[in-house]
Amino acid sequence: MGPFIRRAVLFLLMLAGIAFGLDRLLKAGLRERTTDVYGVWNRIIRGNIQSDVLFCGSSRTLVHFDAAHISEHIGRTCYNIGMDGTQLDLQLARLRTFLRHCPPPRVLLQEVDIISLTPESRLYFGQQYLPYLNEPAVRQAVYRIEPDGWMDRWVPLHGFMRYDVGSIYLALQGLLHLEDTLHDPVHLGFELRDRAWEGSFDHFLEQHPDGIRYPTDTAAQRTLRTIVRTAQDAGAQVVLCYAPELVENQRITLDRNEIMGIYQQIAKEADIPFWDFSNSAFCNDRDYFYNSQHMNAKGVALFTSMIADSLSSLPVLR
């Protein structure tokens, strides 16, 4: 091997070493974060959550179940592991990761909604998974959605180049402990979104004047059953819960009865409660919602007392 080739090889090895070191450093920075979505993941991975009641689900869980105030109502510890932009597959991965590191809750409340039975997730905000691909459940779920996700784990800096530079900035904040902890929007996993009515639903109504049907994917149904069984095997009482939803959206959902029937059947099979709050009186009023699926602060305040009363009725929490 000539001198030039040797120098080129050494140079490339040096670059690879630098890239590998930077990749490890940036992922460590994300694992140091204590706020936002990374803060919740890091508390899970470190086993820092001991909760009597655990709320699991999609964005409707994230922004509807005010863990701190529910805890005050029922006198039990609560935590919210709801995930924005996810379907049941990624919710199962997070629950399995939680149970791998944290004590099981007394109660797992799994929120379901009109789109829970759609085919499995796309990878929304995929950079949140970069530091946790060594977790078996996370890795399995991410690789199923993004088959080339292995590159984010093994190819240095690939994940940070795949997504925007914002994840690098967040990593540096974590490394240097420069997070704005005073204005963290997430508290005990809950994110309050006190927003005015968005108006996007009006456009949705114009697009679907004859109503809309949502999928009832059999794989998603199996995943929901697996969530229930996984929590039960860990010793938790499981509750399926349908949080409040704007009645206008209920009326245009042509297969709503079929979807609700599936949830009722799954609950019956597992001998668990199914709580449906979509028939609450305030579901007729847009003042309590910022879109058809998500409540604002006014709606969450009403719902908090309702869900707290229901939780208090469970024998396991008495």
Could you tell me the pLDDT band of residue 279, with boundaries at 50, 70 and 90?
A: very high
Please, what sign has the CA dihedral across residues 166, 172, 177, 178?
Answer: negative
Is there a contact between 268 and 302 (Cβ–Cβ < 8 Å)?
A: no
Task: Write out pLDDT tens, residues 157-195.
Answer: 999 999 888 899 999 999 999 999 999 999 999 999 999
Helix, strand or coil, per DSSP, at residue 295: strand
Domains of the chain, by residue range, sit at 3-317
237-242 and 107-111 as β-strands: parallel, antiparallel, unpaired?
Answer: parallel
Percent of the chain with pLDDT over 70: 99
Residue 53 predicted with pLDDT over 70: yes
Per-residue confidence (pLDDT) for residue 194, from 0 to 100: 93
Q: Residue type for 138, please?
A: V
Average pLDDT over residues 290-304: 98
Per-residue confidence (pLDDT) for residue 120, from 0 to 100: 73
CB-based burial label for 16 (10 Å; 0-12, 13-18, 19+): exposed
pTM score over 0.75 = yes
Average pLDDT over residues 269-286: 97
Q: Which residue, 47, 42, 57, 109, is CA-closest to 78? A: 109
Per-residue confidence (pLDDT) for residue 1, from 0 to 100: 58
Residue 8 predicted with pLDDT over 80: no
Residue 7 predicted with pLDDT over 80: no
In the chain, which residue ranges form alpha helices assigned H by DSSP? 3-31, 36-45, 59-62, 67-74, 88-101, 136-145, 150-154, 158-162, 166-176, 200-207, 218-233, 247-252, 256-270, 297-312
**Domain 3-317: CATH class, spelled out:** alpha beta
Task: Write out pLDDT tens, residues 236-246.
Answer: 999 999 999 99
Percent of the chain with pLDDT over 90: 91
What torsion, rounded to 10 degrees, do the Cα atoms 144, 148, 149, 155 define?
160
CA distances from 6 to 3, 16, 20 (A): 5, 15, 21
Residue 226 predicted with pLDDT over 80: yes
Please state the φ and ψ torsions of residue 294, each to the nearest 5 degrees: -125, 130
Please, what sign has the CA dihedral across residues 222, 227, 232, 234?
Answer: positive
What torsion, rounded to 10 degrees, do the Cα atoms 307, 310, 316, 318 define?
100
Q: Which residue, 98, 100, 104, is CA-closest to 81? A: 98
